[in-house]
Amino acid sequence: MLTMIFLFLAQMSPVAYAETPAAKYPNMVVAKDYVKDLEVDLKYATADNFAKQILYTDLKECLVLRETAAMLKKANEKLKKIDHTLVFHAYDCLRPRSVQLQMWDVVKGTPSEPYVSDPNTSLASIHNYGCALDITISKKGSGPLDMGVPFDFFGDESHPRDEIQLMAKKKLTLKNIENRLLLRYVMTSAGFIPISNEWWHFNCATDEDVKTKFKIVQ
Ligand SMILES: [Zn+2]
């Protein structure tokens, strides 16, 4: 009996509890709990990213605010109504400000600067609040849809604002544009806000709402 009690207490110990990322970030939820078939592909947990280094040492899950997760669930329902073989594929979710500082060091003073929010501003990055998602759509079993350029391609071809001209210059195909429009349609239908220079990035609220309603994760 004593052994059983000991085992039970060991399971419940703060050490075991603190090891789960969701416990380390108590205001966040695991996005996959809301969208069961979400493909999680956190590029910053690997060295396959613009910084060429592993930036997330303990963050292995897509964590977001409950509000963001609920919106993604809604977007997923919309996506499934259009084509049940399509799934969301997340590249980045909650990103602590400490990582934002590391990223800023890599891009500061380079042409890539517009693609990383300055962590020293009053807002920093909306990713730092769990309110932003870097996301695409996959066809189940055959990987992400062709968006013309990959996630974190730092150049004009990533800009939603330039898509029409890019198609005219044959830098993007009609299919690329269709895929991006589908992504924007399902995300904005659920209330997400796209940005003008990254096809993969969506915010759960306006800058002002983020600052006043949510808490930054350092
Ligand atoms: Zn982003």
List, in sequence order, every beta strand (DSSP E) within 45-178.
63-65, 86-92, 132-139, 143-144
210 pLDDT above the threshold of 70: yes
Ion ligand 1 — residues with CB under 5 Å?
A: 134, 201
Give me ligand 1 centre to Cα 82, in Å: 25
Q: Is 143 left (phi over 0), alpha (psi -120 to 50) or beta?
A: left
Q: Does the structure show a pLDDT above 70 at 116?
A: yes
Q: How far is the CA of 37 from the centre of ligand 1 (A)?
A: 21
What local confidence, expressed as pLDDT, does residue 21 receive?
62
pLDDT digits (tens, 9 = 90+) for 117-175: 999 999 999 999 999 999 999 999 899 999 999 999 999 999 999 999 999 999 999 99
The answer to whether the CB of 25 falls within 8 A of the CB of 63 is: yes
| Residue 17 is assigned to a structural domain of this protein | no
Q: Residue 69 is part of a domain; what is its CATH number?
A: 3.30.1380.10
**Residue type at 73?**
K
Distance 3 CA to ligand 1 centre (A): 48
Give the pLDDT confidence score for residue 24 in this predicted structure: 86
CA of 183 to the centre of ligand 1 (A): 14
13 located within any domain: no
- For residue 3, name the pLDDT band (cuts at 50, 70, 90): low
Question: What is residue 102's predicted lDDT score, i.e. its pLDDT?
Answer: 97
Task: Confirm whether 41 is domain-assigned.
Answer: yes
DSSP class per residue in 159-182:
-GGGHHHHHHTTSS-HHHHHHHHH
Separation of CA 13 and ligand 1 centre (Å): 35
Is 22 a member of any domain? no
CA 167 to ligand 1 centroid distance, Å: 23
Determine the pLDDT at residue 23: 75
pLDDT classification of 92: cutoffs 50, 70, 90: very high
Question: From ligand 1's centre to the CA of 14, what distance in Å?
Answer: 32
- Give burial (CB, 10 Å; 0-12/13-18/19+) of 27: middle
132 alpha carbon – ligand 1 mean position (Å): 6
Distance 109 CA to ligand 1 centre (A): 19
CA of 9 to the centre of ligand 1 (A): 40
- Boundaries of domain holding 140: 27-213
Instruction: Answer yes or no: is 21 within a domain.
Output: no
Long-range contacts: 193-198, Cβ < 8 Å, 24+? 194/160, 195/160, 196/159, 196/160, 196/161, 197/114, 197/115, 197/158, 197/159, 197/160, 197/161, 198/115, 198/134, 198/158, 198/159, 198/160
User: pLDDT tens digits for 34-60?
Assistant: 999 999 999 999 999 999 999 999 999
How does residue 26 score in pLDDT terms, banded at 50, 70 and 90?
Answer: confident
Domain for residue 129, yes or no? yes
pLDDT at 1 over 60: no
Q: How far is the CA of 64 from the centre of ligand 1 (A)?
A: 13
Distance from Cα 95 to the centre of ligand 1, integer Å: 9
In-domain check, residue 190: yes
Q: Is the pLDDT of residue 17 over 50?
A: no
Split into its structural domains, the chain has a count of: 1
pTM: 0.90
Distance 168 CA to ligand 1 centre (A): 27
| Mode of pairing for the β-strands spanning 132-139 and 201-203 | antiparallel
